[in-house]
Chains A and B, each alone.
Chain A
Amino acid sequence: MSGGAAGFHRRCRALLRKELRQMLRDRTTLAVGLLLPLVLILLFGYGLSFDVKDAPVAVVLEDTSPTARDVTAGLAGSPYLAPVWTPWMDDAVARMRRGEVAAIVRVPQDFSRALAGGGARVQLLLNGADPTTASALEGYVGGAIGTWAGHRAGRAAGKEAAGGIVQVEPRIWFNEANTSTWYLVPGLLVLVLTLVGAFLTSLLIAREWERGTLESLFVTPVRPAEIVLCKLAPFLLIGAIDIVMCLLAARFLFHVPMRGSLSVILVSSMLYLAVSLLLGLAISGITRNQFKASQVALLASFMPAMMLSGFVFDLRNVLLIVQVVSQLLPATHFMALVKTLFLAGDNWRLIARECAIMLLYVGVLFTVTCRTLRKRLD
């Protein structure tokens, strides 16, 4: 056995050359590694949005008086709503059943009569099958009608002193624009790196096991750790390009602020990239079978990173076991870090903690992968 640093360098150089060549010749991998992030950037930035705009709402005026018309006039001015007027409730209900409108606002026949006594009602019917849109619409419709009522109360009250009311003035920190893009786009970086890791490396070792080429590597003096390092290096390069693409898109395409320092964002992204690539390699080494490896990689990456990492759902209050699973995912830690770095700024306590956790993952996954490569035939 040739030991020492010189041997290490010689073996690594040879292996690295082989892995690099293999990667460069495999056009599909290369194309997907660079193309998929681009596709995801565009889809996330433009396709995903929680911001309701021009939602079709049926407005049923059973009361035909000008006052009834007036109370719903505010709905037309809202950028979030696109009212469709109809005199018949049946018609509105049929439209909602067909999914053509998301809500119904009904002004009952006795509205203007009841208004004088202060007991007027406006009915709002929502489609609960889409709860996010439903609660947003409730807020917008409530706001529009509340504003109208406020003006009217102001006019009616005049001199008689009504008691003052408390008004809520919400201010949203870190997301002044209050668009979902601001918090979805930083999450995009996490998703892209998770996916790139899963699909670029998850077949690497399994494929060599299936083809038997790993056994021929075993007769050479290379050590498991060297194999892992050399398999990792070329893809760190591709991943680095992806990181840069994501950051450029976030800054210049979607104008998401970057309040933390760029160097911290870059370093922590590279760290997470290493975690993600090593996870792929570990799956590959453990399953030793391309079919299983691809299924596991797909299952372990996309949906968990989307549903359990805090990407859209806040997991502070869910069942304990779900919180534990979510904390076990490396994506959760990088997600918390990246959102803070983009929207809030450098928070050194958080940076130190999450980076330490990611380093721990690098160590564990590296060891696991090396163990799957021990020179043993079975």
Chain B
Amino acid sequence: MAALLAALLRIGFLCRKELLALLKEPSSRVILLAPALVQSLLFGYAATFEVTHAPYAVLDQSGGAAAAEVLRRLDGSTTFERTATLRSASEIAGAIDDGGALLVVVFPADFERRLAMGVPAPLQLILDGRNSSTAAAASAHVGTIVANFNAARGAFQPVTLERRIWYNPNLHSSWGIMPNLIAALSMIQTLLIAALSVAREREQGTFDQLLVTPLTPMLILVGKAIPAILVGLAQSTIILLVIRYWFGIPMHGSPWLLYFGLVTFTIAAVGIGLAVSALSLNMQQAMLYTFMIIMPLMLLSGLLTPVRNMPQALQIATWANPLRFGMDLVRRVYLEGAGLRDVAIDFVPLVCIAAVTLPLAAWLFRNRLS
């Protein structure tokens, strides 16, 4: 009992020293806490695939009433904004090339005649594919407007597709991305803090002093891990608050489960960071290794594009990625209101990663001396 108390006390001292080293200077405090706030605000506004006021140009070779009616509907929507009315096909290239127009709507000369004859009349869309997701979104919007136009003309539609969307009724792309940032943004800095923690002491020569204190490697590990975990959780909390209260994205799940998941995820991330730190001999190495690790972790997590779209081999590799499961867990609890049973599977890889990396780091503390 006394031994346990002494160990706890020692961990407490080490944590205090680590936190002081991290947060003593005002500029360090700013570097550790402000980015979470600024980034979540900026990315919250930027992370959107929706198109509004998309600039478009028109080439109307038919000059008829039907084309005018379609155009009236396009101009009436907030999605599109006409920037140019072209007179000949040769002007199309210029309209798109200089980035002026995202799309050009072309009504062929026989548009009116075909409609009157009762045969399908093609309406051509020329889209700027330099950003294919924006192009796809704009094309889908034109499709909806034209479908409404057809319906208004009384075209026979035997089947209607009724759409209902769970969790995100208006399909805001930021709702899908923002909850991911709770885990992703905080991981970047947490991993780097953990990775630099031992490397810095190695470089400055104070780590050898730490090793000759009564602290065992396991205690040093815990003392180094806790401050990094605290900073990570603080960052996640800032991002969470911005998402919930600034952007007003509704949260459906239990905050307890969310934090239980976040703590598990952050421990796994810090485990990786400390293992990197124990391996590197100086800060330059620690930073480079961290960069080497962060990129694959971010890109193979499903942050920007779903894991499901990846080739099979890479999908298997993502099982070693704590961010994939941390993000999945946080997003599903936040948006979908998932319960512990729904996300239990996400905890398995997280716990495994922590169980491998933390002991490895402790072992490396002793066995890799410069």
Cross-interface CB contact of B165 among A126, A167, A350, cutoff 8 Å = A126
B273 to A: closest C-beta gap in Å: 13
- Contact between B45 and A319, CB atoms less than 8 A apart: yes
A279 to B: closest C-beta gap in Å: 15
How many residues belonging to B are interface residues under a CB distance threshold of 8 Å? Answer: 115
Cross-interface CB contact of B118 among A43, A97, A163, cutoff 8 Å = A163
- Contact between B299 and A317, CB atoms less than 8 A apart: no
Cross-interface CB contact of A340 among B49, B130, B158, B160, cutoff 8 Å = B130
B53 within 8 A of A: yes
- Contact between B168 and A128, CB atoms less than 8 A apart: yes
Cross-interface CB contact of A163 among B132, B154, B298, cutoff 8 Å = B154
Residues of the B chain whose Cβ atoms lie less than 8 Å from the Cβ of A66: none
B33 to A: closest C-beta gap in Å: 11
- Contact between B150 and A175, CB atoms less than 8 A apart: no
- Contact between B295 and A347, CB atoms less than 8 A apart: no
A239 CA to B284 CA, complexed, in Å: 18
A76 within 8 A of B: no
- Contact between A135 and B123, CB atoms less than 8 A apart: no
- Contact between A325 and B42, CB atoms less than 8 A apart: yes
A51 CA to B130 CA, complexed, in Å: 15
A8 within 8 A of B: no
Q: Assuming A131-B175, A131-B176, is B158 touching A156 (CB within 8 A)? A: yes
Residues of the B chain whose Cβ atoms lie less than 8 Å from the Cβ of A347: 97-98
Cross-interface CB contact of B166 among A51, A127, A139, cutoff 8 Å = A127
Query: Chain A, 69-112, contact with B by CB distance < 8 Å: what is the 0/1 string?
Result: 00100000000000000000000000011110010000000000
B202 within 8 A of A: no
Cross-interface CB contact of A134 among B99, B165, B342, cutoff 8 Å = B165
A330 within 8 A of B: no
- Contact between A294 and B192, CB atoms less than 8 A apart: yes
Cross-interface CB contact of B167 among A32, A40, A98, A128, cutoff 8 Å = A128
Query: Chain B, 145-178, contact with A by CB distance < 8 Å: what is the 0/1 string?
Result: 0100110011111111111111111011101100
A18 within 8 A of B: no
- Contact between A164 and B164, CB atoms less than 8 A apart: no
- Contact between A28 and B284, CB atoms less than 8 A apart: yes
Listed stretches A222-230, A270-278, A304-312; interface member: A304-312
B305 to A: closest C-beta gap in Å: 5
Residue of A with least CB distance to B43? A307
- Contact between B309 and A50, CB atoms less than 8 A apart: yes
Chain B residues near A (Cβ < 8 Å): 27-28, 31-32, 35, 39, 42-43, 45-55, 66, 70, 96-99, 102, 114-137, 139-140, 142-143, 146, 149-150, 153-169, 171-173, 175-176, 185, 188-189, 192, 196, 200, 283-285, 287-292, 294-296, 298-300, 304-306, 308-311, 314, 328, 331-332, 335-336, 338, 342
